């Protein structure tokens, strides 16, 4: 398997292994690579912060969140539509 390249804008930790993720609403599951799982967790963490700590959010957070969503949409559209759409 070819090693995925971490996007330059992503400053989070990249996990060593991937894992299966389940959509909490549809219960559909999708297997993610280590990088995909790292970015997925970043997206979910941002959503949590936006909902529960909106006063702590700045423009950079919002831009990075949108970059992460776009990255996921382009790099794994099937997983994006199962897990994030």
CA neighbor of 7 nearest in space, from 66, 78, 85: 66
The larger pLDDT score, comparing residue 18 to residue 52, is at 18
Identify the weakest region by mean pLDDT among 24-33, 40-49, 56-65.
56-65
- Whole-model pTM: value is 0.90
* Structural tokens at position 32: 């993610």
Q: Domain locations in the chain?
A: 35-83
Distance between the two ends of the chain, CA-based, in angstroms? Answer: 27
């Amino acid at each position: 398997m070819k090693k995925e390249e971490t996007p330059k804008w992503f400053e989070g930790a990249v996990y060593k292994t991937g894992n299966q993720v389940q959509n909490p609403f549809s219960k559909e599951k999708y297997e993610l690579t280590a990088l995909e799982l790292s970015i997925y967790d970043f997206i979910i963490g941002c959503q949590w912060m936006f909902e529960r700590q909106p006063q702590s959010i700045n423009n950079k957070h919002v831009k990075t969140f949108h970059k992460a969503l776009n990255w996921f949409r382009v790099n794994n559209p099937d997983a994006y539509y199962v897990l994030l759409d």
